[in-house]
Amino acid sequence: MPQDQLTSDDYYTPPEFFKDLGLQFDIDVAAPIGGCDWIPANKYFDQLTDGLTSDWYGSVFMNPPFSQTVLWIKKFTEHGCGVAIVPVTRAHWFNQLWKDPNISFAIPEQDKTLFRFIHKGKRVGVFMPVIIIAIGNINCEALSKVGFVR
């Protein structure tokens, strides 16, 4: 994505995350405009196709805009099949996720201290910790490859 089109939510998941996970997704539901060629998804929904209003199918990958996490999490849990990166928070939606027995959680070990996203071509952390969640048997099994799983 051109640098002048970036928003404060444009933090991309690094390629090695997907290599470690070893999954192929049907859709990246919250992709940047033009998608990311390193995300193993057959299709992507970007800001122009709006993943929140588009129909999801199969296994999805989601690195949602953290400014609208609640809306994305609602759709993700209703869909019931995928992997997502979300911020850790004390918000009600996070507490509901934590209690859901169908969701697995992993604390990323990417560089043993902080998950590093790609932002403006550089590896950076964000101002809050993140956690990886999975729903669906295949996704939950794969999650154990990327961190400490609950």
User: Domain 3-149: which topology?
Assistant: Rossmann fold (3.40.50)
- Domain residue extents for the chain: 3-149
Summarised one tens digit per residue, pLDDT across range 41-76 is 999 999 889 999 999 999 999 999 888 889 999 999
Q: Report the predicted TM-score, pTM, of the whole model to 2 decimal places.
A: 0.82
Reply yes or no on whether the pLDDT at 87 is more than 90.
no
For residue 81, give both structure tokens.
């099949």
Read off φ and ψ for residue 76, nearest 5 degrees. Answer: -60, -50
